[in-house]
A and B are shown apart, each in its own frame.
Chain A
Amino acid sequence: QKEVEQNSGPLSVPEGAIASLNCTYSDRGSQSFFWYRQYSGKSPELIMSIYSNGDKEDGRFTAQLNKASQYVSLLIRDSQPSDSATYLCAVSNSGYSTLTFGKGTMLLVSP
């Protein structure tokens, strides 16, 4: 069974700090990796996708992928209170189109 594991948190960081969110996955055949942000009571919003080993940067967000270690991370630089949300890691196998999600990590950024 495919599994995606995340620390449920909450992860508390002060405003302006770097928040580091981690995710591990069990299926070595996984090819596509995503981070979604979900505010309380709202639906998930795609913020990053990564497909190859290494880093991918988009604004204040950096996704990191290490397929050998089956590990994905998301760094948020200069964290803002508006970044306070649950961050969901999702993984897809190239043979399938469906996503397997972790339970999410709650991030709290204090002013």
Chain B
Amino acid sequence: DTGVSQNPRHKITKRGQNVTFRCDPISEHNRLYWYRQTLGQGPEFLTYFQNEAQLEKSRLLSDRFSAERPKGSFSTLEIQRTEQGDSAMYLCASSQAGSRRTEAFFGQGTRLTVV
């Protein structure tokens, strides 16, 4: 399967713990995005990378959130000191730069539950 892959699929953590999610984009895609989705809402943009450079971060991304894409391939999203309000589906997407036709394809998502 050459689609976007996210791990883990589900994560239950206690409030105050740190969690890390991984995303492997479609291999030829150099843009990678993180979104967060809560029940009844559309996905909300968190951050995006072009290759290894983090080009944009949403104001939603508090200082407890950090994302990396060290070699321009896979990416990790870490949440420190988790809060119950962090419970959501975390979605990764990738697309190919070089065109205005920025079709983005999503992975299966990581569902985070903070208890």
The residues of A with any CB-CB pair to B shorter than 8 Å are: 4, 8, 31-32, 34, 36, 42-46, 49, 51, 88, 90, 92, 94, 96-104
Contact = CB atoms under 8 A, between A and B. Distances in A.
B42 A32 contact: no
B108 interface: yes
A49 B40 contact: no
Given A32-B101, A94-B100, A100 B45 contact: yes
Nearest to A96: B56
B42 A97 contact: no
A43 B91 contact: yes
Given A4-B42, A97-B31, A102-B42, A44 B100 contact: no
Contacts of B33: 97-99
Interface in B66-105: 89, 91, 95, 97, 100-105
10 contacts: A31-B100, A36-B106, A42-B109, A43-B106, A43-B109, A51-B100, A96-B56, A99-B104, A101-B42, A103-B42
B22 to A, nearest CB: 15
Contacts of A42: 108-109
Given A44-B91, A97-B95, A98-B48, A49 B42 contact: no
Contacts of B97: 97
A4 B43 CA distance: 12
A103 to B, nearest CB: 5
Contact of B106 (A4, A44, A92, A94): A44
Contact of B45 (A8, A36, A88, A98): A98
Given A98-B33, A98-B48, A44 B43 contact: yes
Contacts of B104: 34, 46, 99
Contacts of B103: 34, 46, 49
A103 B102 contact: no
Contacts of A98: 33, 45, 48, 56
Interface string B19-43: 0000000000001010100001111
